[in-house]
Chains A and B, each alone.
Chain A
Amino acid sequence: MSEQNIEWVDEEGKRVDGREVNDLRETSMEVGVLDEADGSAMVEVGNTRVVASVFGPQDLHPKHLQESDRAVIKMRYNMAPFSVDDRMRPGPNRRAKEIGLVAKRALEPAVELEKFPTAGIDISMEVIESDGGTRATGITAASLALADAGIPMKGLVSSCAAGVVGEHVVLDVNGKEDKEGNADIPIATINGGDEITLLQMDGDLTQEQVEDCVSLAKEGCADLDEQQREALLNQYRGEEQ
């Protein structure tokens, strides 16, 4: 936490990357980027890029993992070795496992798992370039991949973080703001609404600051939700005509 020397927001209200405090980074979304997977999407938020895929619903083995009344989601979060400045050693680690778990929990409430008892749905997120916000970007991408796979859902899930740098509450913290700033609170919501399905935090904040972050991040999720719908329409609008 060596943030004392950094001017996080300048006199003109600009952050270290030129954004204002309430701005998301430039975001682009593309659905159907892979061919073997049943559903896929790539989401790019600033310099963070994640590809997500879905296989299923399909047979789940071994059998003892099956649930008699609903489908089970298996989630993988992985960072490619070249997705960080200092090469990431390939293979699972504790951080990736935890992110896989919370990402799964973020998506589950939106998916109609009870329609596919005993089945498995395999979701995987590959981070190919990172600059903060990889789990949020991955969840946004995975939700698009689920929709692309035609899996029934009560809604899309979008995710972004708000944080505190210096004294400022800012939306969608980038890598530098995350590493050197005070706090980072990623959340996810269903349909950009009030149902929050992911929340994590580390830092040193007052309750008021936490509340400000959550409410700002919700606005970010609502914005991303609209972009998700646009990306899905872009993929499928042409095919219907």
Chain B
Amino acid sequence: MKLNTKTIKEMASEGQRLDGREFEEYREIQIDKNYIPTTAQGSARVKIGKTQVVVGISFDVESPYDDRPGSGTIVTNAELAPMAAREFESGPPQEPGVELARVVDRGIRESEAIDLEALCIEEGEAVYTVFIDVHVLNDDGNLLDASALGAIAALQDGFVPAYDEEIEELDHDEVGMEDIPMTKVPVTATGRKIGDTILWDTTSEEEKALGSRLTVTLTEENQVVAMQKGGRESMTEEDISKIIDEAKNQTQNFRDLLEE
């Protein structure tokens, strides 16, 4: 892989990528909502090029946190299934999976995209928990953008099952709310700096060239709600501004796709 790393860096400095794309150009993005129609309460499959993730939404009813007795809760989990890449192993989530889940979670949580107060059943007693489960089936890079996009698509597709107060359980066959109460559409885009250039939607091959990445989650008003710097190398203030600027364009494209 050393050879490719060198090649990728050299090509980037000459304005080129291995697969011939422009630096800002994403691979083909495909969003299939309601991909898991019978068992999930909202779902989507997102393909970005060969990268493939399935996101499913589930609900449960639990006691609220003491400091937020009138708010529902969110749990985000990501599984990098061993089938997604040769180097992935079975077992408890490793660092990349945990980071993935937490970055997806922050974008949704910090933007207050889900109206958690609307998910309160009885203050201090019972609230809905929204589970966002990201299942990565094929990793060809840019898992962060694919997973965040899948999460928001699945939430938009979802419904809230009815709560049966007598038996104090969810009735999965009855609809409580037609839609999951949403206030915003946070969308995530990641720029990766390789050498002196910034590439978008990197493949696994390009990600092996290391460099550094910055993931930016923006609302439709272009408010920045979550960021995460990754990769082994450093970046400058100027890089950060450039990446946020371009993320505004990229996320607008994602929003158009979500509305189709």
Residues on the A chain within 8 Å of B86, using CB: 36, 55, 58
Known: A37-B83, A81-B56. A126 touches B137 (CB 8 A): yes
Chain A residues with Cβ below 8 Å from B85 are: 36
A238 within 8 Å of B (CB atoms) = no
A13 contacts across to B, CB distance below 8 A = none
A128 close to B135 (CB less than 8 A): yes
Interface size on A, residues (CB 8 A): 31
From known contacts A34-B52, A36-B140, infer whether A82 and B83 are also in contact, taking CB-CB under 8 Å: no
Distance in Å from the Cβ of B128 to the closest Cβ of chain A?
Answer: 12
Output the nearest chain A residue to B60 by Cβ-Cβ distance.
A87
By a CB distance below 8 angstroms, the chain A residues around B84 are 34, 36
Find out whether the CB atom of A51 lies under 8 angstroms from the CB atom of B38: no
Q: Is the CB of A126 within 8 A of B83?
A: yes
Q: Quick one: closest A residue to B169, CB to CB?
A: A86
Q: Which residues of chain B are near A78, meaning CB under 8 Å?
A: 81
Residue of A nearest to B43 (CB): A82
B66-94 toward A: CB 8 Å interface, digit per residue (1/0)? Answer: 00000000000101011111100010110
A58-83: CB near B (< 8 Å → 1, else 0) gives: 10000000000000000010101111
Contact A36 B83 (CB under 8 A): yes
Residue A184 interfacial (CB < 8 Å):
no
Q: Are B56 and A80 in contact (CB under 8 A)?
A: yes
9 A–B contacts from the bound complex (CB under 8 Å): A36-B83, A53-B82, A81-B133, A82-B36, A82-B58, A85-B172, A86-B172, A126-B83, A129-B36
Are the CB atoms of A84 and B83 closer together than 8 Å?
no
Pair A51/B137 contact, Cβ less than 8 Å: yes
Q: Does A223 contact B (CB under 8 A)?
A: no
Contacts of B36 in A (CB 8 A): 82-83, 128-129
For the complex, give the distance between the alpha carbons of A91 and B81 in Å: 11
B residues apposed to A, CB below 8 Å: 36-40, 43, 50, 52, 54, 56-60, 77, 79, 81-86, 90, 92-93, 131, 133, 135, 137-140, 170, 172, 204
Q: Give min CB distance, A75 to chain B, whole Å.
A: 10
Query: Do residues B38 and A35 form an inter-chain contact, with CB atoms below 8 A?
Result: no
Contact between A81 and B58, CB atoms less than 8 A apart: yes
Most buried by B among A85, A87, A91: A87
Question: Looking across the interface, which residue of chain A has its beta carbon closest to that of B84?
Answer: A36
- Which chain A residues numbered 101 to 148 have a C-beta less than 8 Å away from chain B? 122, 124, 126, 128-131
Which residue in A37, A122, A126, A129 is a CB contact (below 8 Å) of B39?
A: A129
Once the chains bind, are B90 and A85 in contact (CB under 8 Å)?
Answer: no
Contact check: which of B50, B92, B135 meets A126 at CB < 8 Å? B135
- When distances are taken between beta carbons in the complex, the residues of chain A under 8 Å from B131 are 81-82, 87
In the complex, the chain A residue whose C-beta lies closest to that of B140 is A35
- When C-beta atoms are compared, the residue in chain A nearest to B57 turns out to be A82
Which residues of B sit under 8 angstroms from A37, Cβ to Cβ? Answer: 83, 138
Q: Given the complex, which residues of A lie within 8 Å of B172, measured CB to CB? A: 85-86
Which residues of chain B are within 8 angstroms of A85 by Cβ–Cβ distance? 39, 172
Find out whether the CB atom of A51 lies under 8 angstroms from the CB atom of B77. no
How many angstroms from the CA of A51 to the CA of B86 in the assembled complex?
Answer: 16
B43, B60, B77, B135: which has the most chain A beta carbons within 10 Å? Answer: B135
Whole-angstrom distance from the CB of B121 to the nearest CB of chain A? 17
- In the bound complex, do residue B92 and residue A35 qualify as a contact, i.e. CB atoms below 8 Å apart? no
Residue in A closest to B59 when the chains form the complex, CB atoms: A87
Q: Which residue of A lies closest to B97 (CB)?
A: A90
